[in-house]
Amino acid sequence: MAKPDAISSVDIPLDWSDYAPEPFVESYGGLDSAAWEAKVIRSIDEPSQDGIAFPRFPPVAMQERIHGHSDATAVREAFAFHRLVSDFAARLQSEIGRDTTILDFGSGWGRIVRPFMARTELNNIIGFEPNPLFVQVARALNPYVSFVSGSFGPPTVFADGRFDVIVAWSVFTHLPVPLGRRWLDELARILRPGGLLFVTAWGERFIDQLVAQKKRLSAGLEVHWFQKQVIEAVGDLDDLRARHRAGEVVFVPSPQYPDYGDTFMSGRGARTMAGPRLVLVAHDDHSLAQDLLVYRRS
């Protein structure tokens, strides 16, 4: 879920193929994850395959601005997240299937929903995005999935217990603590009892990266602009590590937006964020670029 910026337009494709209720489940539901991932990557350059018009991709500049990379790299990150979510759901006896109702919270231009489209009926997949430009882009690029707009703070328009699974890639990674708590309460409301919520946040590995990059800066070497920005905003990295290890959820505001920045949350911290309806049932701190925190609705 990103803040508004200066990006103003995107090309809207006008050549969608004839309507079919479930083109992806019917054609590709039997593929394993790697084969489906290869199909989606191929669609970057070949958006029409097997008589099916695949969702399109926004300009590279837009992708880079939103999440730091684009096209095949962005797809691979989405599939890595999807595989981990699917694995945890199966382990927790909530396997994601054709009838699973899924919300992508903070859906951006819609890349995170794409891995789900070959396993789950399209009417069961919904994206929520408060940035009106991103909603417009997501709808234009992928008319198969419903993208719902809303405000940057709760509530949403969804009914109580509406979803079986909610995913939030790189959303709570950027929310101030009070707003993060409010959103967790809202997502608990729209999650069915026993349903699963998957969120990501920065963990100690990112602190390790910042320490290493700070040494490069001190040596006069180049550092990625994002990491440099976070290093400057954090200041004392040793203090950040100590607070993180103590279980504090630490929000570091960005220079541009005081209500948007970078949030560091350990498993211990994630428990303090959850209200009475959410129970932390898993924490993965090594498989993805960000830590994955899994809640179950009690």
pLDDT of residue 264: 98
Residue 173 predicted with pLDDT over 80: yes
Residue 18 predicted with pLDDT over 70: no
Average pLDDT of 203-222? Answer: 97
Residue 17 predicted with pLDDT over 70: no
Which residues 6+ apart lie within 8 Å of 200 measured at CB? 81, 168, 169, 170, 171, 172, 173, 288, 290, 291, 292, 293
Query: What's the CA gap between 23 and 256, in Å, rounded?
Result: 42
Looking at the chain, the whole-number percentage of residues with pLDDT higher than 70 is 93
pLDDT of residue 256: 83
- The residues pairing with 168 across neighbouring beta strands, listed in sequence order, are 199
Which residues 6+ apart lie within 8 Å of 59 measured at CB? 10, 11
pTM equals: 0.93
Per-residue pLDDT band for 65 (boundaries 50, 70, 90) equals: confident
Average pLDDT of 170-175? Answer: 98
Tokens of 56: 């399109």
Per-residue pLDDT band for 5 (boundaries 50, 70, 90) equals: very low
**Which domains are present in the chain?**
23-202+265-297 (3.40.50.150), 204-261 (no CATH)
Residue 295 predicted with pLDDT over 70: yes
Average pLDDT of 74-90? Answer: 98
Residue 10 predicted with pLDDT over 90: no
What is the residue-wise DSSP string for 96-141? --TT--EEEET-TTSTTTGGGGGTS-GGGEEEEES-HHHHHHHHHH
Residues 190 and 159 sit within 8 Å (Cβ to Cβ): yes
78/13: higher pLDDT: 78
pLDDT of residue 15: 55
Instruction: Give yes or no for a cis peptide into 155 (omega within 30° of 0).
Output: yes
Residue 215 predicted with pLDDT over 90: yes
Is residue 219 packed enough to be buried (19+ CB in 10 Å), middle (13-18) or exposed (0-12)? exposed
Is residue 9 packed enough to be buried (19+ CB in 10 Å), middle (13-18) or exposed (0-12)? exposed
